[in-house]
Structure 1
Amino acid sequence: MPSSRHADAASTRPLDILQQVFGYAAFRGQQQAVVDHVTAGGDALVLMPTGGGKSLCYQVPAIARHRAGQGVTLVVSPLIALMHDQVGALDEAGVKSAFLNSTLEGDEARRVERDLMAGNLVLLYAAPERILTPRFLAMLDSLHERGLLSLVAIDEAHCVSQWGHDFREEYLGLSQLHERFPSVPRIALTATADAHTRADIVERLALESAQQFVASFDRPNIRYVIVEKDEPRQQLLRLLRDEHEGDAGIVYCQSRKKVEDTAAWLAGEGLNALPYHAGLDAAVRRQNQDRFLRDEGVVMVATIAFGMGIDKPDVRFVAHLDLPKNIEGYYQETGRAGRDGGPATAWMAYGLADVVNQRRMIDEGEADEEFKRLQRAKLDALLALAEAHDCRRVRLLAYFDEASQPCGNCDNCLHPPAVWDATDAARKALSCIYRFHQQSGFGFGAGHLIDVLRGKVTDKVTQRGHERLSTFGIGADVAEQQWRSVLRQLIALGHVRSVGEFNTLELTDSARAVLRGGVPVLLRVPAEAPPRGRRSNRGTGSSRGGTAKPPPLPLDEAGLARFAALKAWRAEVAKSHNLPAYVVFHDATLAEMAREAPDSLDALAGISGVGGKKLDAYGSDLLRVLAAAG
């Protein structure tokens, strides 16, 4: 890469900007095509996985168009945390940008507005609800009249779709921007959208003429693991201690209470765990999020209120203690692991109660029947992924219409599951549910059904006279855990549904084919807990995050010393600038410096991730640190 110190500071060529400002030698994947199209004034819809470099797809065109005198790029962003990180990173790279949100005091907000109206800003970040206020729209009108509204970038564009996993009503008003400024190009970006959601984005944002860029959804560095719930807290603890000790990660729970209880329990087990949900005091949420972003080895236990726009690159695991609503949500949430390309784990524990609860929430919701039908189909796809015997990644990518081959890196590929023919057991369960309704006119829950099948005499069994049913005891040879697996699969396949406040079970129309023996039911054999033991390919570390993590590149002893010195220097800079360490430099950039040991500014400019502003700001210090570390 040519030295960014000698690059043309006013160049509008995207590749020059990429090298000079961001310090990268070349675009990745479809970035080049997107950037060229948008820089030239075209509309675009970009689907690119988390960690795929979506931000550069609008940041590079924003810089190019600003240098060409076309004004500011407005970035629609849903979260304050994302705005802060993006603006902090751009400031480090020497790009004049700002945000307008509720964290700014009056004087600060007015200064940003003055810079905006003067045409000084390259990018301005704001949330949709602020953008659509009369005052903000009036400022945009003034900019547009003077030819200074260059581009509109709509980040997390799936939020505009009611079919997606994170619908936000305020996004619906963004169509006003196109109606008001039809000549201003727009780029909408998201990491997840199936065909239905994609069509909804196009319609709601009036992007019918936009060129669509759909990158591969594959994240080969992520290992997908899905386990049946069997003391899920202990299962999670085994994962953290045996495979991710000292690593940063996210644990997702469905309820706020479960978040707090799980975080407290993990902390009691010696982990550096913090809670995050919308019900916490705003100052506590902000403090916990800052610790997660800035400290090493923090485990954030959270609802899905946490995560969108989190750019922390070294999240080594994402764990789900509850079943997400659909594959888009699952993919979006798991995609927050391994943004740096290093090995990461997407782990989920789920059980019968998860299936029942998710179906009940759909059935009891206030949406129309068409919406419920689609949500059930999306849940079914996720359940099929969870129950799969074959490659998880093949099934996950197929959901997004992408063909692939078995990955060799998911749990099913690494440890192919044993299966058993559960057709006879399934027929017994369905027959027992039928007998309940035949005798009483209503159904019963899974626990009572299993008691009857296994011939267990309880007060409830005798009170209902169910010991006299022909199905009483016909499943005594099947363990309770296996029965739960059978019922979970029958619900997942849609042969049984759970209804009402008490989650009683009833048959669906498709159950008849199973009862007649025409539909085989093959189930996974419940896996035993893996033996305790640490993976040999990971560095050791304290569960409190006190031990240094291994670098992303293999380094010799001298290189490791340089890497440690560079990380210590970066920590001081990040603290003084009030930024997460990765905003200063990613680990991968420090590791390359440690390996190459550049001894001049020109040599340092050749390191990936060292742009012109950072070279000027930090170059001399970096050379001093490298020389001192040997």
Structure 2
Amino acid sequence: MTSPETLRVLNRVFGYDSFREGQHEIVDHVTAGGDALVLMPTGGGKSLCYQIPALIREGVGVVISPLIALMQDQVDALRALGVRAGFLNSTQDPDERRLVEAEFLSGELDLLYLAPERLRAESALRLLDRGKVSLFAIDEAHCVAQWGHDFRPDYLALSELHERWPEVPRIALTATATKATHAEIASRLNLEDARHFVASFDRPNIQYRIVGKNEPRKQLLELLRTEHAGDAGIVYCLSRRSVEDTAEFLVRNGIDAVPYHAGLDAPTRAKHQSRFLREDGLVVVATIAFGMGIDKPDVRFVAHLDLPKSVEGYYQETGRAGRDGLPSTAWLAYGLQDVVQQRKMIDGSEGDAAHRRRLSAHLDAMLALCETVECRRVQLLAYFGQSGTPCGNCDTCLSPPESWDGTVPAQKLLSTIVRLRRERGQKFGAGQIIDILLGKRTSKVGQHDHDSLSVFGVGTELGDGEWRGVVRQLLAQGMIAVEGDYGTLVATEAGDEVLYRQRKVMLRREPERAAKPAKSRRAAVSAELPEDAAPVFERLRAWRAATAKEQGVPAYVIFHDATLRQIATESPSSLTALGTVNGVGDNKLAKYGEQILEAVNTLPSTPPS
């Protein structure tokens, strides 16, 4: 049973009549002083789980966040709701810090945001000792997992919070955790005895699609032009050079895009991030240095031009799409070279053999997701220890691929690798091996006399692209491996079982027709709005854009699209009616109510007859 006080705060401050599934149990538990570990997907409403208890409990809620570049926006969003929020980080000058510290000590704040490294300073700990802390919220808690995809060493020290302030409740939150990461978070933060809340990781509005690489930038451009024209989105690349080149390619082809990576100077990174948050329809091309904590609700697509290193990373990155619940796309272009490159990176990585085995296990799980013939969503949920049923909204559900018996082609390829090594003492990459199988008399084939091999020309039943798919899948299944700087291929023990002991090999054949595309943002909005509400919605968006620009904040800080859609549909004629709309709390009603009613009730101008 949700307490009346938490419901009152939810409605008065945040403008919602009811909690999402699972939220109210967490809110009531933390409000009552209990510790909590929360696993909830991006867009599931994690922040309310500590914001509401901080507003109810005596003192100031201290939020530990690694997102220094976003703290200003987080605080602006709360202040727009009438919440007294502040932050302390390295971007402030001494006077700004002193002002926030004074507000904290005098109890004039509801929430205070701190970076984890700040808590390593004794001065920050003494400051918290002098004030009244109502709770500690540890956001992005997966950063404490040492072998996770976003490890931050400063998070390891957060276990000391409970030792220094044993009476203050703690809530740790993350959107990404396997069972192993979940256990590691609990152990490292001393939260084994806390109450654990695990929501479903399913994001049904996201359509997962993985395509074979064939000029990936052109494939990306086609996706943006046909499905996401004018939409905001994120494109992830593995290297800084690829980020720069892809951003330039998109700009040359009429797409408004900017690069983001750690090699850019801090002012440029800040400018590009700010533009992405504040402008409609901007595409950011980035390394994984970008995105954590991005609260932009209308990101309509996340595209990967290179294979992510882990399923956790993939899920976290794709989860930045569709926070508003509207149809969105998670698109990945994946090819043989991705597998070769990732295997080489693991072999050359720092750390011991156990570390490399962990990296290999992460990659194997990612490859399994790419190569599956089953529902992508079911496989993704299974990785996080959750069950699911075929979703009907991923590429393998919409255009099911076939499995085929690839034992004979696998044996031919393995035989070529083995014969080159045994008979000639040679190792080659995929291109030369495929040329031998296809019987191509290239200069390199002639130079090494490979046309005299017994396997020369035995693979003409498949084309070059199909053979590359065989190589990719045998790499994914661990039947061949990559060696050395030149990406040469060798057979493994698992490959020997195929070659000598007739182990069966099942492979995936790509479907001939593509998956049904996701609706674009505009199509989704149009489909959900009555005809007469569409122009009202556009007027409200224009008003919101102007207001956000005037205040120097992202548009979603004013109102989310979902709130504007409800206003346009219901067309309230009074402040009382407007106050019943989801997302319109007391503070925003007082601040913007009259302006919204004016925009709703303005008659469209008609041309003179």
Q: Which TM class, normalised by the smaller chain length?
A: over 0.9
1:397 equivalent to 2:397? Answer no
* CA apart distance, 1:518: 3.5
List per-residue Cα deviations over 1:153-194 (Å, max 9, x = no partner): 111111110221111112112122222222211111100010
C-alpha root-mean-square deviation of aligned residues, in Å?
A: 1.9
- Give the SS at the match of 2:207: strand
* CA apart distance, 1:304: 0.7
1:326-365 alignment to 2 at 5 Å?
326-365=310-349
1:253 equivalent to 2:245? Answer no
Q: Which residue of 1 aligns with 2:95?
A: 107
Contact 1:163 1:196 in 2 (8 A): no
Contact 2:300 2:520 in 1 (8 A): no
- Give the SS at the match of 1:317: strand
Q: Which residue of 1 aligns with 2:29?
A: 37
Bigger drift between 364-373 and 20-29 goes to 364-373
- Give the SS at the match of 1:99: strand
Q: Which residue of 2 aligns with 1:139?
A: 127
Contact 2:327 2:519 in 1 (8 A): no
Contact 2:257 2:284 in 1 (8 A): yes
1:292-441 alignment to 2 at 5 Å?
292-441=276-425
- Give the SS at the match of 1:494: coil
Partner of residue 509 from structure 2, selected from 503, 511, 525: 525
CA distance in 1, matches of 2:195, 2:352: 32
Q: Which residue of 2 aligns with 1:5?
A: none
Q: Which residue of 2 aligns with 1:77?
A: 65
List per-residue Cα deviations over 1:539-570 (Å, max 9, x = no partner): 77xxxxxxxx8637733343122212211211
1:587-626 alignment to 2 at 5 Å?
587-626=561-600
CA distance in 2, matches of 1:320, 1:566: 33
CA distance in 2, matches of 1:598, 1:49: 33
List per-residue Cα deviations over 1:365-385 (Å, max 9, x = no partner): 112222221221121111011
Q: Which residue of 1 aligns with 2:540?
A: 566
Partner of residue 20 from structure 1, selected from 9, 12, 15: 12
CA distance in 2, matches of 1:18, 1:307: 27
Partner of residue 530 from structure 2, selected from 556, 562, 575: 556
CA distance in 1, matches of 2:279, 2:5: 37
Contact 2:420 2:427 in 1 (8 A): yes
Letter in 2 for 1:50: T
* CA apart distance, 1:54: 0.6
List per-residue Cα deviations over 1:310-359 (Å, max 9, x = no partner): 01111110000000001000000000000000000000001111111112
Bigger drift between 197-206 and 319-328 goes to 197-206
- Cα distance, 1:539–1:45 mapped onto 2, change above 3 Å: closer
List per-residue Cα deviations over 1:28-85 (Å, max 9, x = no partner): 01111111111111111101000000111111111111xxxx2111111111233222
1:134-173 alignment to 2 at 5 Å?
134-143=122-131, 148-173=132-157
Bigger drift between 151-160 and 112-121 goes to 112-121
CA distance in 2, matches of 1:211, 1:570: 40
CA distance in 2, matches of 1:539, 1:154: 33
Letter in 2 for 1:449: I
CA distance in 1, matches of 2:439, 2:113: 64
* CA apart distance, 1:621: 1.8
Letter in 1 for 2:89: N
CA distance in 1, matches of 2:418, 2:399: 37
Using the aligned pairs only, state the percent identity.
58
Contact 2:328 2:520 in 1 (8 A): no
Letter in 1 for 2:589: L
- Cα distance, 1:517–1:408 mapped onto 2, change above 3 Å: farther
- Give the SS at the match of 2:38: strand
- Give the SS at the match of 1:365: coil
CA distance in 2, matches of 1:496, 1:441: 17
1:50 equivalent to 2:74? Answer no
Using the size of structure 1 for normalisation, the TM-score is 0.92
CA distance in 2, matches of 1:101, 1:58: 20
* CA apart distance, 1:407: 0.4
- Cα distance, 1:550–1:419 mapped onto 2, change above 3 Å: closer
- Give the SS at the match of 1:568: helix
Contact 1:316 1:338 in 2 (8 A): yes
Q: Which residue of 2 aligns with 1:91?
A: 79
Structure 2 segments unaligned to the other structure (5+ residues): 605-609
CA distance in 2, matches of 1:153, 1:319: 31
* CA apart distance, 1:141: 2.1
- Cα distance, 1:574–1:552 mapped onto 2, change above 3 Å: farther
Contact 1:391 1:410 in 2 (8 A): yes
Contact 1:175 1:205 in 2 (8 A): yes
CA distance in 2, matches of 1:62, 1:184: 11
* CA apart distance, 1:587: 0.6
Q: Which residue of 2 aligns with 1:585?
A: 559
Letter in 2 for 1:492: A
Bigger drift between 318-327 and 466-475 goes to 466-475
1:503 equivalent to 2:503? Answer no
Letter in 1 for 2:376: R
CA distance in 2, matches of 1:473, 1:60: 69
- Give the SS at the match of 2:235: strand
CA distance in 1, matches of 2:503, 2:563: 55
CA distance in 2, matches of 1:433, 1:538: 46
Letter in 2 for 1:204: R
CA distance in 2, matches of 1:528, 1:278: 39
* CA apart distance, 1:537: 5.3
* CA apart distance, 1:405: 0.7
Bigger drift between 511-520 and 16-25 goes to 511-520
What is the number of residues matched between the two proteins?
602
Q: Which residue of 2 aligns with 1:6?
A: none
- Give the SS at the match of 2:602: helix
Contact 2:329 2:518 in 1 (8 A): no
